[in-house]
Chains A and B, each alone.
Chain A
Amino acid sequence: MSESGIDVERRRFIAWALTPSLIVLFAVAVLPAIYLVVTSLTPFQLTTPGSATDFSEPFRNYSLLPGDPRFVNSLVVQAKLSVASVLFQVLLGTLLALLLNVPSRFVEFARTFFLIPMVLPPIVVAVIWKLIYAPDISPLYYAAQALHFTLPALTSNVDFALTSIIIADTWEWLPFTFLMVLAALQTIPDEYSEAALVDGANKLQIFWYVTLPFITPILVISGMFRLIDSVKAFPLIFLLTGGGPGTLTEVTNYYAYLLAFDTNEIGYSSAVTVVMLLLVCGISLGLVWMGRRKEALA
């Protein structure tokens, strides 16, 4: 009885201790999300009085989405951008971490140097790449000119526009995966690779059979974080391409922004955002489930 009483007391204490945080979390995260969902059920337009509370056709916005070619295209562009940039970030980040996982003062300095892009405000990153990609002022173009080589305008070229965003995004976030993998590499005991070496394994085999299994969970986690975060590549697109040429780099959040702030379709834009939110949640849950399943199988 008394134990049960202690348990009740403990649970009550935990509930009281958590309450302020939960209230704050509810106010800053859940309430806006609820408002977003409610707005997505209306035809809300800034200049149409009464449209914010018109629930006569609550699922109209959602029913229009599959027939909207720009929305469908934006999902495809988002998928291309996310997959390519996450892939490059994980691969290059791992490669860089493997190269710099050696005790040396120069390497320590280089590690710090490599972290700079990640800590810059996203808009600064966008401005840096805007300068690199602007043909009339870019050192890249001056260099190409000096070598008698003609570079196309990367951000307005059909074949390079999306690639130019992927390059900038990879440059910005590569340090994240680099840092994660480097930390994981430093936790691997030397004994394992030494034993493998004694058994006659070459460097590639050591990497494949010893190092990679150790860092795989970190690779999955950093990939997952980057995948979720890649949906937020807004400043780069806003400043570098404006979603163009045409709609070649128009991702879903940029389309939602245009709908809300250029054409004032707040209701429809909210529906686009809700779908995007659900997709991101779905992907995250899927990845978590896959991770747990792998752990269970192991």
Chain B
Amino acid sequence: MKTASRVSSINRRTLLKASAAGAALAAFPAPLIAQTKPFAGVTLHGASFQHRFFTLLQKYIPEFEEKTGMKVDLQLSSLPVYNQQANLELSSGGSAYDFVNVTFTLATRWIAAGLLANLDEFTGDANLTPAEWNPKDFVDGAQVTYRDPKGGTYGFAWEGGAMLMGLSRMDLMEKKGLKIPKTFDELQHVCAEINGTDGVSGLVSWFLHNWNLPPYIQGFGGNIFRNPPGDPMPALNTPEAIQGVEFYAKLLKSAPTGVLTYTEDQARQAMLTGRANIFIHSSAWVTPILLSEESKVKETSRVVRSPAGPVHDYPASNSQGIGIPKNAKNKKAAWEFIKWALSKEISMRLVKEHGHSSICRRSIITSDDYRKLNTVNGQDLGALYLEVLEMPGKGDNYMAYRTTKEFPIVGDILNKAFEQVATGQLPAKDAMNAAQDQAIAALRRAGTKL
């Protein structure tokens, strides 16, 4: 009985202690939760265009929500739809989004119009950003677009694109005694020689001519504008630009019928099935000939640097960034998300767990793990990617033409002019002279002072 009474008394005490502790918790719950989950109750609204990076990131977001206590509402739509929505939202001073994708071609416009928050305020504060996050780890060539003229940072790159050349039928080239082209002339020669052999086209491309064409114009020493971004006077009818247009139009004579309306997917498919020999485009579209399970040409493929022009070797590159709208309601929470999404840890997990290689952190791209995963048939794809991605950040930012706010107008006119040349409607000189006049008139109409 004594024993039973003692047991009963301990139980009562325990019960009392537990009740007291429970009451204390009930009385002061918020500070305790706040210590562990500083963003509890916050719903973070973000938007971007649909991309594999975000699809993969969505798998990790529950971990972030668990860690921080916030909810992430990420809206993904197609690129044109996203660009229109974000442009309208930001331009009208809206606060619907806490973080947004800063589209490469819109970046300069958004930054110049003051629509984005300066992220240096976050990276410069040790309380908000630990030193190991290291903003300088992002490849400079990918970051240059997200800076204002004073060097302020308005976005961090989550995706990089570096123009490389994929060759899917090295077997045919070897049979014909052809070597990998390193110059424009060699490229023209190889494409013409291969075209039609075993039903294979010499080259494939896709409909966005204002992306595919400028490397040739620049290769001959021309540019889209006279001196972007400072001088946005179009330079479409310079002898070098005309030469570039003529060259690319001639090159497309070795492409499949209907290439002018080909989508990226059609071009990629032509490569994966070995129906076209050469594709010059961003690494993410070219490397599948070596990496994709769908590829029927893994054994006969090579990925190399795209050929250099007689004047410049300017392979195109781009990046996409994440930024915070100036009028966002939850800027600190948004920064917490950006910091996490672009952390070394998440970047490495994307590489290791999903083979996602188009990231922009140098320490990851140069790591052994990355190299091991991205070296195929002895070809170090990571080194190629990094080399091209870095180029605009070294000296001449030759990709500046694409991020000037005048580019959408001039780029559209360039597309039309090129199609007129490629389909034989006009000689290159006439088409580019007309394009120059139209571009000047359109820019003046839009209020640009030239």
Could you list which residues of chain A lie within 8 angstroms of chain B, going by C-beta atoms?
43, 45-49, 51, 64, 67-70, 133-136, 151-153, 155-158, 240-248, 250, 258, 261-265, 268
User: Is the beta-carbon distance between B260 and A153 smaller than 8 angstroms?
Assistant: yes
CB distance from A106 to the nearest CB of B (A): 38
| Other-chain contact of B260, A45, A46, A64, A245 (Cβ < 8 Å) | A245
Q: Which residues of chain B (381-416) have a CB below 8 Å from chain A?
A: 405, 408-409, 412, 415-416
Which residue in chain B gives the minimum CB-CB distance to A137?
A: B266
B18 interface residue (CB < 8 Å to A): no
Choose, from B7-15, B45-53, B80-88, the stretch at the interface.
B80-88
User: Is the beta-carbon distance between B420 and A262 smaller than 8 angstroms?
Assistant: no
Which residue in chain B gives the minimum CB-CB distance to A258?
A: B412
B207 interface residue (CB < 8 Å to A): yes
User: Is the beta-carbon distance between A246 and B80 smaller than 8 angstroms?
Assistant: no
Q: A46-B87, A49-B113, A264-B87 are in contact. Are A136 and B445 (CB under 8 A)?
A: no
CB neighbours of B88 from chain A (8 A): 46
| Other-chain contact of B416, A43, A158, A247 (Cβ < 8 Å) | A247
Q: Which of the listed residues A45, A69, A264 has the most CB atoms from chain B within 10 Å of its own CB?
A: A264
Choose, from B160-168, B226-234, B422-430, the stretch at the interface.
B422-430
B177 interface residue (CB < 8 Å to A): no
Which residue in chain A gives the minimum CB-CB distance to B112?
A: A47
B36 interface residue (CB < 8 Å to A): no
User: Is the beta-carbon distance between B409 and A245 smaller than 8 angstroms?
Assistant: no
CB distance from B358 to the nearest CB of A (A): 25
Q: A47-B405, A264-B408, A268-B445 are in contact. Are A244 and B257 (CB under 8 A)?
A: no
User: Is the beta-carbon distance between B447 and A153 smaller than 8 angstroms?
Assistant: no
Can you list 18 A-B contacts with CB-CB less than 8 angstroms, sorted by A residue number? A45-B447, A46-B87, A46-B88, A46-B91, A47-B87, A47-B112, A135-B258, A136-B266, A151-B257, A153-B258, A155-B258, A156-B261, A242-B261, A246-B417, A247-B416, A250-B416, A264-B87, A268-B446
Which residue in chain B gives the minimum CB-CB distance to A153?
A: B258
Q: Which residues of chain B (103-122) have a CB below 8 Å from chain A?
A: 109-110, 112-113, 115
Q: Which 3 A-B pairs have the closest CB atoms?
A: A153-B258, A246-B420, A156-B260
User: Is the beta-carbon distance between A43 and B447 smaller than 8 angstroms?
Assistant: yes
CB distance from A71 to the nearest CB of B (A): 11
CB distance from A165 to the nearest CB of B (A): 12
Which residue in chain A gives the minimum CB-CB distance to B410?
A: A263
Which residue in chain A gives the minimum CB-CB distance to B204?
A: A136
User: Is the beta-carbon distance between B207 and A265 smaller than 8 angstroms?
Assistant: no
What CA separation (Å) do A135 and B258 show in the bound complex?
Answer: 7
CB distance from B82 to the nearest CB of A (A): 12
What CA separation (Å) do A43 and B425 show in the bound complex?
Answer: 33
User: Is the beta-carbon distance between B266 and A47 smaller than 8 angstroms?
Assistant: no
What CA separation (Å) do A70 and B420 show in the bound complex?
Answer: 13
B305 interface residue (CB < 8 Å to A): no
Q: A46-B88, A244-B416, A245-B420 are in contact. Are A263 and B261 (CB under 8 A)?
A: no
User: Is the beta-carbon distance between A157 and B423 smaller than 8 angstroms?
Assistant: yes
Q: Which residues of chain B (208-262) have a CB below 8 Å from chain A?
A: 256-261
User: Is the beta-carbon distance between A246 and B419 smaller than 8 angstroms?
Assistant: yes
CB distance from B433 to the nearest CB of A (A): 13
| Other-chain contact of B424, A68, A158, A241, A243 (Cβ < 8 Å) | A158
User: Is the beta-carbon distance between A263 and B409 smaller than 8 angstroms?
Assistant: yes
